[in-house]
Structure 1
Amino acid sequence: MANVAILELSRNCAKTVEEIVKLERKIFPKHESLASFFHDELKKKNSGLLYLHVDGELAGYVMYSWPSSLYASITKLAVKEQYRGQGHGETLLKAAVEKCRTRKVSRIMLHVDPLRTPAVNLYKKYGFLVDTLIQGYYSSDRDAYRMYRDFDSS
């Protein structure tokens, strides 16, 4: 059985950041990648990043932020190809949702390419609803669903 751990990125973990930047560049097209802005994103006080290790190897990560006291956003969720379909994306999503929930926000939002069916299905499984289709969000020929999940006020 694999040894799986979710870790919160500390601000001074340069080696892990470099691994994540490599993964970011590999998974996302250049114009969607945060790789060149990763260090700036992580300096923000209202953002966080969780990463998943499987047997000591980086398998995926999720980045989130809470731009206001009303809502949070999941800005990136990525899993290395060889670790997909094993529940690791689900594990990361659940952990990020819980982190955002601790901020006492009433809504969490994200954007996803409608053609990334496994990702859309994962978000729907965890209560995210499609708000709208944003045409040309990623590029002139790639749209995005804006999805959200509301939390109880109790």
Structure 2
Amino acid sequence: MANWVIVELNRNSTNCTKIIEDIVRIEKNIFPKHESLARSFDDELRKKNSGLLYSDVNGEVGGYVMYSWPSSLCATITKLAVKEDFRRQGHGEALLKAAIQKCRTRNVQRISLHVDPTRIPALNLYKKLGFQVDNLIEGYYSSDRNAYRMYLDFDTD
């Protein structure tokens, strides 16, 4: 079992370019071209109020999560992906928990995300961490691929 740790991407770190290249490679392997942020990844990271965490497995990116908090009320998990070799080892759960914690420190009241209903492992992970299905959005990803909009509310007291 490899040792790994969740790290926040630091744009000023010496290995930032390599990490982004690794993430873009994962992105291209996992997501259909029209869903991939590979071409616009750098722009996404430059956006105000956004963050990226990744799992560092002995210098290799095992997975990553992107999130943003456009307002003080709501944050969004924009991407969560784990490299095939590292699936079912807790990377996705650890990344999601870390992103939820980052969002909590911003005092948001809700985190939302979209997930393809056919991606059962992802759906189960979100439910395990307390996300609830809000509704089905037909044609969200493409004309023949829908998405569940899911949310996690925080107690405001």
With structure 2 as the length reference, what TM-score do the two structures score?
Answer: 0.95
| SS at 1:23 equivalent | helix
Residue identity in the other structure for 1:65: S
Alpha-carbon contact 1:11-1:43 (below 8 Å) kept: no
Provide Cα deviations, 1:24-52, integer angstroms capped at 9, x if missing partner.
11110000001111100101121000000
Deviation string, structure 1 residues 80-119 (Cα, Å, up to 9, x no partner): 0111111110010000000011110000000000000000
* Residue of structure 1 equivalent to 2:4: 4
Letter of the aligned partner of 2:92 in structure 1?
G
- What are structure 2's unaligned runs of at least 5 residues? none
Residue type at the aligned position of 1:10? N
Match of residue 42 from structure 1: 45
Displacement of 1:15 after TM fit? 1.4
Distance of 2:9 and 2:28 partners within structure 1: 19
Aligned sequence identity (%)? 72
Matched, 1:63 2:66: yes
Aligned length: 154
Offset at 1:10? 1.0
Q: CA RMSD in A?
A: 0.8
State the AA in 1 paired with 2:56.
H
Once the two structures are TM-superposed, the CA of residue 56 in structure 1 deviates from its matched residue by 2.4
- Per the alignment, residue 124 of structure 1 pairs with 127
Q: CA-to-partner distance for each residue in 1:128-152, whole Å, 9 max, x for gaps?
A: 0000000000000000000000001
Which segment is superposed worse, 47-56 or 106-115?
47-56
SS at match of 1:15: helix
- Give the secondary-structure state (helix, strand or coil) at the position aligned to 1:114: coil
Q: Residue 133 of structure 1 is aligned with which of 130, 133, 136? A: 136
Report SS of the residue matched to 1:100.
helix
Matched, 1:115 2:140: no
* Mapping 1:22-37, distance limit 5 Å: 22-37=25-40
- C-alpha distance in 2, partners of 1:115/1:138? 12
Amino acid at match of 1:5: V
Deviation at 1:55, TM superposition (A): 2.6
SS in 2 for 1:31: helix
Runs of 4+ in 1 over 2 A off after TM superposition: none
1:99 maps to 102
